Amino acid sequence: MNSVVWAQFTKDKRNPLILLLFIAGSILATLLFAGGVNSPTTVVIFSEEENAAEIEKKWEKLLNSDSTIQFDIVDPFKAREDVRDGKVDVAVKLMEMDYRLIIKSELPTVSYVQQHIEKVFQREAQISAIESSESNENVRREFDNYLADAPIQIETQGLDKEELPNYNMSTQLLFAFTFLISMFILGLKVNNVTHDKVSGIWNRMILSPISKTNMYSGYILYSFLITMFQFIVVLLLFKYVMNYDVGDNLWIIILIAAFFIFSMISVAMLITGFVKTPEQFYAIYPSLIPLIPLVSGAYMMPGTITNSVLLFVADLFPLAHAMEAIMSVIFYNAGIQDVMMSLLMMLLIGVITMGLGINLIERRSK
C-alpha cells in the first residue's frame, strides 16, 4: 500500500500545479460569490432633477434609517463611473417620488438593495397620499409613533435559546465551494485507477507481491489525504487569515469533512466501475458533480428546496448530510452526538458505493 501511495505522490510532486490551481479556485470562488453576502453594502445615490440637493437630502435620511446598507450622495458622473468600473454594485438615480437603478451586472446585492429601496418608497408614497387626502401635516409623526408602539409586537428567539442564531450565508457558500473543489480533486485521483489499468501498470502491480487489497487501499488513502490537505488549508486560511466565522469546533468540522471525503471517494469509485477509459470518466464525472450542490441546496438558504423528489435525490449523496452537519456545528454549536446521524449516513453511502464500485471494477477486469 505504501508503494502505491508514494507512486501517486511522486506524480503530483513532479506536477503540483493542478492541485495548487484547485486550492486557489476554491478560495477565489468563495471570495467572488460569497464575499459580499450578508455584509454591509455601500450604495451611491444621486439626483439630476432641478431641486437635486433637496431630493438627495430627503431620500438619504429615509433610506439610511433602519438599514444595514449605507447610502452615500455622490456626483452623477462619478456614480455612473464607479458602477462602470466595478467599484460599486449599484447606483440609485433619485426623483421626487421614483427611482432608477444603475447596474452593470445582476449581483446578489442588487436584489437586496432593490427590496429595501422599494419598501422605503412605498411607505413614503402611502404617507404622502394620506397627508394630501387629509390635509394633516402631523401624519408622519403619528405614523412613527404608531409603529413605535404598535398593537401587535413580534419577538423572535431560537429553538434552544432566546438568542436567535446569526445565520451567515457567506459561511455556507465557503463550505459549498470548498466541497465542490474537493469532489473534483478526489475524482481526478480516483481516476488514476483507470489510468493505470489502460497503461498496463495495474497488471504489473498484480504480478508483484502487492495484494489487491493494498492496491485499492493505496489509491483510496492517497485520494483521501490529498483532498483532506486541500480542505484543511482552505479552512485554516479562511478562519485565521480572512476571519470568516467557522466556529470554534474545528476538529468536529474536520471530522465531518473526513467522512464526506471518504463517501465521495466511494461515489467516484462507483463511477470508475462503469467506465473503461480515463476519457469516459472525464466525460461523466465533471458533468455530474456540479449538479450535486444544486440538488443538495448548498447554494441556497436552508428550507428553500421543498420538493420531496429533490430532497430524496439529495439524500443519496453525502454533500447534503455534510452541509447540514457543518452548519449545525457552526451556527447552533452542535456536538458530536448531534451530528452522529449525518456521519452514519455518509458512512453508509460510502460503504455501499465503495463495495459496488470495486465489484464493478473487478468484473470489468475479468
Strand partners, 103: 90
Distance in angstroms (rounded) separating the CA atoms of residues 115 and 348? 44
Choice between 304 and 324, residue whose per-residue pLDDT is larger: 324
pLDDT at 232: 92
pLDDT at 113: 83
Choice between 129 and 181, residue whose per-residue pLDDT is larger: 181
Distance in angstroms (rounded) separating the CA atoms of residues 175 and 329? 13
Once rounded to an integer, what is the mean pLDDT over residues 265-276?
Answer: 90
Distance in angstroms (rounded) separating the CA atoms of residues 310 and 308? 6
- Give the pLDDT band (50/70/90) at residue 15: confident
Contacts of 253 (CB under 8 A, 6+ apart): 235, 246, 247, 326, 329, 330
- Give the pLDDT band (50/70/90) at residue 36: very low
Distance in angstroms (rounded) separating the CA atoms of residues 71 and 100? 14
Once rounded to an integer, what is the mean pLDDT over residues 265-273?
Answer: 91
- Give the pLDDT band (50/70/90) at residue 365: low
Give the residue among 158, 342, 190 at the shortest CA–CA distance from 253.
Answer: 342
Distance in angstroms (rounded) separating the CA atoms of residues 360 and 270? 8
Give the residue among 271, 259, 275, 286 at the shortest CA–CA distance from 351.
Answer: 259
Distance in angstroms (rounded) separating the CA atoms of residues 277 and 272? 9
Domains recognised in the chain with CATH numbers: 2-35+168-365 (no CATH), 42-148 (3.40.190.10)
Residue 241 has pLDDT above 70, yes or no: yes
What does the DSSP 8-state code read for residue 106? -
Choice between 9 and 319, residue whose per-residue pLDDT is larger: 319
Give the residue among 265, 255, 220 at the shortest CA–CA distance from 235.
Answer: 255
Contacts of 278 (CB under 8 A, 6+ apart): 191, 194, 195, 198
What does the DSSP 8-state code read for residue 99? E
What does the DSSP 8-state code read for residue 137? T
The top-scoring range by mean pLDDT among 63-67, 76-80, 83-87, 131-135 is: 76-80
Choice between 112 and 225, residue whose per-residue pLDDT is larger: 225
Residue 91 has pLDDT above 70, yes or no: yes
- In tens, the pLDDT along 307-360 reads 888 889 889 999 999 999 999 998 888 889 999 999 999 999 999 999 999 888
Q: Tell me what the pLDDT averaged over the chain comes to.
A: 82
The top-scoring range by mean pLDDT among 38-42, 110-114, 130-134, 333-337 is: 333-337
Distance in angstroms (rounded) separating the CA atoms of residues 42 and 110? 11
pLDDT at 40: 45
Distance in angstroms (rounded) separating the CA atoms of residues 228 and 224? 6
Residue 147 has pLDDT above 70, yes or no: no
The answer to whether the beta carbons of residues 324 and 346 sit under 8 Å apart is no
The set of cell numbers assigned to 101 is 437603478
